[in-house]
């Protein structure tokens, strides 16, 4: 250690100058300041680059607004059905439906009593009697609803609300009347309130395709 080094400094400071010893620390603080400045510059460059990337993927149409790029257009749109996309199903009124009631069971008078109840509910009643030979005592369920293909979503649906479990079928008729063939499992028509609730559900608006 030099004799000019103050006691206890351990060589950490050095003496400069000719008159009075001046002490200065090493240049570690300068390095820290330079490193901090470099870090700030690097963060600024990263931020600038991000802005440039955003500009690349959006295009200005000349009006000051950004237009969607190809990647934006390829995204699946989040569609919602508009009010015009839904509509209530129009069902015919019972008074517009003519029903022929046929008994395919061994129980006498079943077609007549069922026809009378349907008449109370507003249906028009046509023929009433025993089922044709093709169906007589050959319907194991509650019944069959028979009509033209065009009656599937109309008359047959309204009549089907009156009889739980009845199966709709189509034939080649061109008339608008429908047949109710009572099967061996038939006991009684649905309670009128229950039938009305079923019709209300059938008439509810159905959601359309949102896209």
| 111, 180 contact by CB (below 8 A) | no
Distance CA 197, CA 202 (A): 9
What count of other Cβ atoms lies within 10 Å of the Cβ of residue 184? Answer: 15
Q: pLDDT tens across 78-110, in order?
A: 555 555 444 567 899 999 999 999 999 999 999
Distance CA 114, CA 189 (A): 7
Residue 103 or 14, more confident: 103
Residue 21 or 170, more confident: 170
Residue 32 or 169, more confident: 169
């Amino acid at each position: 250690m030099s004799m000019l080094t103050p006691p206890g400094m351990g060589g950490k400071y050095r003496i400069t100058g000719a008159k009075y010893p001046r002490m200065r620390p090493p240049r570690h603080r300068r390095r820290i300041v330079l490193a901090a400045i470099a870090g700030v510059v690097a963060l600024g460059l990263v931020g600038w680059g991000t802005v440039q990337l955003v500009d690349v993927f959006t295009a200005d149409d000349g009006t000051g607004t950004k237009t969607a790029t190809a990647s934006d257009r390829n995204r699946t749109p989040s569609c919602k059905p508009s009010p015009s996309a839904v509509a209530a199903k129009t069902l015919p009124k019972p008074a517009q439906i003519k029903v022929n009631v046929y008994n395919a069971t061994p129980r006498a008078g079943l077609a007549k009593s069922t026809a009378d109840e349907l008449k109370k509910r507003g249906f028009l009643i046509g023929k009433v009697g025993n089922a044709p030979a093709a169906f007589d005592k050959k319907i194991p369920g509650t019944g069959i609803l028979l009509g033209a293909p065009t009656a599937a979503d109309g008359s047959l649906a309204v009549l089907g609300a009156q009889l739980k479990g009845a199966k709709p079928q189509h034939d080649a008729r061109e008339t608008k009347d429908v047949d109710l063939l009572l099967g061996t499992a038939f006991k009684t028509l649905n309670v009128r309130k229950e039938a009305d609730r079923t019709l209300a559900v059938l008439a509810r608006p159905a959601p359309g395709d949102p896209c």
